Structure 1
Amino acid sequence: MPRVLRILNRLAVGGPVLNATYLTRYLAPEFETLLVVGERENHEQSAEYLTEKLGIGYHTIPGMGRSISPTSDFGAYRQLKKLIRDFKPDIVHTHAAKPGALGRLAASALNVPVIVHTFHGHVFHSYFNSLKTNFYINTERYLARRTDAIITISDQQKRELVEDFAIAPANKFHLIRLGLDLERFEVGQEEKRRKFRSEFGVADDEIAIGIIGRLVPIKNHDLFINALAHVLGNTGRKVKAFIIGDGETRSRLESLATERGILFSQHTDSSHPHPLVFTSWRKDVDAIMAGLDIVTLTSFNEGTPVSLIEAQAASKPIVSTRVGGIGDIVLEGKTALLSDINDDPSFYNNLLSLVNNDNLRQRLGYEGADFVRERFGYQRLMHEMSGLYHKLLDKKRSACFSGEKRVQKSLI
């Protein structure tokens, strides 16, 4: 049984943790996997409930946090090398930037047979200044030369990494889309919808709009609040909006809502009479999707946002910015209305049109479930990842065998 050391930055709610935990659970018993994680930040919601639900264990390396720290990073690197020596993996598979750097360096130093890395997103625009961005690009180019296969999760992401940033030649990249458990977004929707809307006092004729994710600058929640202000000022429909998630920009977003004249409540309040609710983190995403009427995303940069896949599985229409891999996971004009990141009025009007037009909401929600079920089910992910692992292992064995034969001939 081949062994996989899977290295993830942290057990925090989001797409990378779903990908890593599902692969750990569902590739067994074909592959024996040890999951290694770093520390999550204080504002991030723990995803330990996922490991408990899936019945998988994990090993924590405290120093492997998101921010760069030479002392902590070197300590994490040494711990990873010790794990590799003890576990003796056939494959080291890293997920996201920090684990991708430390894990690949450690695996390369110890001659692990196969090294794989998954880009769940990238930081090559909209995150840092040009000097820092170029440092990360050059670092990834260096690491790519020590990697047997690089996985991207969308066509657009692959094009950017190959053509725009020249991280590695195209033949080193493999497109393997996320695989998720989508059935829970299709079953029991009516009951889940009643429960969610009852909790927050959402009337049957009220349009519920939501955005789900970390409250950090790259997610651009300012656009959501400004769009909500536009909708409230230009519709006769009753509207209630939900910001689901938490993070460093929350207090600033609350101030912006106040500036725009939007009254809001918080998750700790006993009642929610206002048009905006900050729910903080929630685990019942399937109930949230059932309760919403429109799902939005406003990011400056994205890989493959899980919330939009889940929204389509729940037959909810989408309003989003047109960034990263979003164009690869929705059907523009059929399941989602998209706008360019620098075109705020277009986003406002897309959201307003969905609020005002019941038929449009129904039409955009209708096609989503069938589309994502076939494209993003976790069974497909397991099949494709297993195939890639075996292909890489066979290639490595073949190369080793050829090398041994050349040595034997030279000795004759």
Structure 2
Amino acid sequence: MDFAYTEKVEQLRARLLAFFDDHIYPNEHTYHHQIDAAPDRWQPVPIIEELKPKARAAGLWNLFLPESDLGAGLTNLEYAPLAEIMGRVPWSSEVFNCSAPDTGNMETIHRYGTEAHKQRWLAPLLEGEIRSCFSMTEPEVASSDATNIQTRITRDGDHYVINGRKWWSSGAGDPRCAIFIVMGKTAPDSPDKYRQQSMILVPRETPGLQIKRMLPVFGFDDAPHGHAEIVFDNVRVPVENILLGEGRGFEIAQGRLGPGRIHHCMRAIGLAERSLEFMCKRSLERKPFGKPLAEQGVTIERIAKSRILIDQARLLTLHAAWRMDTVGNKEARKEIAEIKVAAPEMACQVVDWAIQAHGAGGVTEDFQLAYFYKIARTLRIVDGPDEVHRFQLGRMELAKYKPARTEAARAAE
């Protein structure tokens, strides 16, 4: 394992860091002001639209998509340090057309879509002309076990009819969101519970697709991106809109969620680095009880622990990315699960200590840390909660010590 950055990555990092210094950091206040002052928060943010052409001109566009000539030609390992930089400013990923859920949806359509799907949906997504939504989680069931989902996708001649209710469908609030990838059951009675589900493409304007409400997260609405509760009421789409075919939903989910999970972790490391930076600067400026916070033992301890936690998470992330590149997403599921637990937990802790160093100011929106904590805490649930990943990891570890089953025992089960 060699995690040293290649010359190509070093050049991209240098360009990306320069872009942040010139265009992202100076416009953080502008971004928040434009959203807060807008008569309609659910519209594209002008500063992001202004910066996109500059990012493209700098060669900083579609940096994801490994094993494809449609992106920058980077592996997961090469993309990691770039996604980390983007994580330092949560809204910045969209400037480079590298934001969720679009990246995962583009990878899904690229891997599992037909040529017609790619021409209609992938091409405009890659150009940044439209945005997308991934709709899987449901309010009535424990969606951490995706076999529970109840949305029905029923064949009716040359169409599928979709009925169900989803929520936390991220990206649906954006008026540019033109396509939904929806997971539902085409064969609810199949004895193989992992072959009951399918994924299907649903254009936004399809009759019967109703956005009921946008869901706030710790009081933040995440406009204009947002997280929607959606009702699918006899939504009819052509049979050609199915991805891969009936019963392939879990297979697609595993291919999609692996990269999505690690991208979240990459950005979480950048978020934690920025929080540590804020904590250090604040600790040097504030002087309670006659000396700077930076000279208080507990603060020094937290800064040191933060450094250790961030570096540990970065190495775990790079290792998982390397495994994905060398053995594939399925074989790297253990490493992906490890980092999906470790990185959000780490980010939560580092952001929490940074908030503490800022005192009452830390829980306001003045220092961004409240929003940072919202992101970090939410990551412990999205793409599978910590408990599910730990359960899977525990079973994999125990399996090493269980006696091998004989053919007779397997046959008897």
**TM-score bracket for this pair, using the shorter chain length:** under 0.3
TM-score by length of 1: 0.27
TM-score by length of 2: 0.27
